[in-house]
Amino acid sequence: MKKSAASEQTDSVEKTPAGKRTAAGRKAAAGKKTAASKKTAAVEKSTVGAKTGAAEKTAAAEKTAAKRTATKKTAAKKPAPLKRQAPAKKPAVAPKKAAAAVKGVAPAKTVAAEPPSGESRTALVRRARRIDRELAEVYPYAHPELDFENPFQLVVATVLSAQTTDLRVNQTTPALFAKYPTPEDLAAAVPEEVEEILRPTGFFRAKTKSVIGLSKALAEDFGGEVPGRLEDLVKLPGVGRKTAFVVLGNAFGRPGITVDTHFQRLVRRWRWTAETDPDKIEAAVGALFPKSDWTDLSHHVIWHGRRICHARKPACGACPIAPLCPAYGEGETDPEKAKKLLKYEKGGFPGQRLKPPQAYLDAGGKPAPPLGAG
């Protein structure tokens, strides 16, 4: 039996909303599930990407660390360049005090001199002796440049010559010895009066103390006589090895080397020795010459140092031993300019002694003027 139109219409109206709602709900649920799935996939993708990025960063860091380690190992294996070490400095030898000379009263032991580079010891000895022979021809009248008439005057004059010229001493001692001619007289002198006489020599207070002290020692210990032995002379106040050898060589005729500032300068310039201590210089130079030559050798060297081979500006162009000198050229080499640097009789000027030996006068030397003259 057929339904009526109204029934069919009613059924369709009842069925349609429910069906539609069901379809719409299913469609919406499906949409939600799809969105959730997409979101989950996105999160997973993001997590995987983050993990992948972290892994890549870790791998890169490990690779960099490996490179650094390899570089360090390579640097460690490569030998470091050696640094050039500066040559060890030779320790300076401080000059001994005058009092130390008392312990070694005998002449210093001879030692082998160090010849210049490329020069054998035999060649050094020959060159040194030839220089001395040449100087002996240049200064045949060489003598001690202190005025004296006896050993007492010589020892006093030598003590006074420290830190001044022989000329100044020679101009001062005439008044001193005129007033105090003997050790006993000088030992009893009033210090202030002696100081006034010695004032021109410089350091007059210290020098007054020394000459009065040595005069007392001579009067009390040696009967007013200057001893002729090194070990006795060096015990006197103000007397060291240099002064002792001046007295022994020129007052007693006993050979000795006088190592003053001129002697020290020249023997180093000539490379006879590289020593700086006076006792060692004495020993080194003494080994190059016979003992009998020592006193005259001292005069020759000292005279040359005062007249030609000066400390500041040597007159190399006027030097008679220039071909033998390793230091040629340190001073003026022009002959005409060098002549203007010559001193004393070599430059046409007076010498240092007021009363020089006759041989000096015969050779053209001029006596020094007295104190206060001209």
Buried b (16+ CB within 10 A) or exposed e, 308-327: bbbeeebbbbbbebbeebeb
- Name the nearest CA neighbour of 320 among 132, 49, 156: 132
Q: Taking a C-beta distance cutoff of 8 angstroms, is the pair 111, 288 a contact?
A: no
- Residues 185, 232, 260, 277: which is the catalytic one? 260
The one-character DSSP state at 293 is G
Nearest to 328 by CA among 341, 340, 315: 315
Measuring CA to CA, which residue among 311, 278, 287 is closest to residue 94? 278
- Of the residues 147, 166, 235, 242, which is catalytic? 242
Please give the Cα distance from 317 to 330 (Å, whole number): 10
| Backbone dihedral angles phi then psi of residue 272, each to the nearest 5 degrees | -75, -30
CA 99 to chain centre: 25
Cβ partners under 8 Å of residue 317, min gap 6: 331, 332, 333, 334, 335, 336, 337, 338, 339
Look up 147 and say whether it is catalytic. Answer: no
CB atoms within 10 A of CB 18: 9
Specify whether the CB–CB gap between 119 and 273 falls below 8 A.
no
Nearest-angstrom CA–CA distance, 86 and 102: 39
- Catalytic, 242? Answer yes
Catalytic residues: 242, 260
